Structure 1
Amino acid sequence: MMMYWYGRGMSGWAWFWMAAGNLLFWAALITIVVLLFRALLRPGAHLGGHPGWSAPPAPGSPGAEQILAERYARGEIDEEEYQRRLGILRGAPSVPVKN
């Protein structure tokens, strides 16, 4: 005597919902694992935990001064702006802008 199956077993819809539930479960589990993996291996995650800090630039990538020089060379910023920002990058006190 089968108490819960009423002698017929699972219907086609029950198999469908069981398969769909399994797919959703594994998709959610894999997504969580990937997001955790990416969050733990993100550059700058090991520099004290402050979210605003970032890792030093990778070797071969342009530094801030090089990017600033390229912007000046392309004419995106004028000499005054270039000197002001370069001074800030190098830690010099900022010079007030003359109007």
Structure 2
Amino acid sequence: MELGIVSGQSIREGESRMMWWNNTGWGAGSWLAMSVMMVLFWGGLIALSVWLVRRTRTSPPSDRGQSATDHPDQVLAERFARGEIDEAEFTRSRTILHPPSDRL
């Protein structure tokens, strides 16, 4: 016995009017895949955020704005020019950096 026609389909007694996409459902595998994709999405979003924050953060300035690769003679000359060391200290430090080559 038919109860009526909905969208061109007849409805029989005991049938639901909802479509349910042909009652196929998603199954356990599809739900597992969807859960994994959600975790990957949020993990990737968090990782991207952390990377951007670290990338844009500026490094703290050094004591005098000098890099660690300055040549020792240059540093010594700058300290002497600023008056941090006197001539005797400059000469002694320069001798330590460049010992005489007349050793036998």
Q: TM-score, normalised by structure 1?
A: 0.46
Name the one with the larger strand percent. Answer: 2
- Pick the structure with greater CA Rg: 2
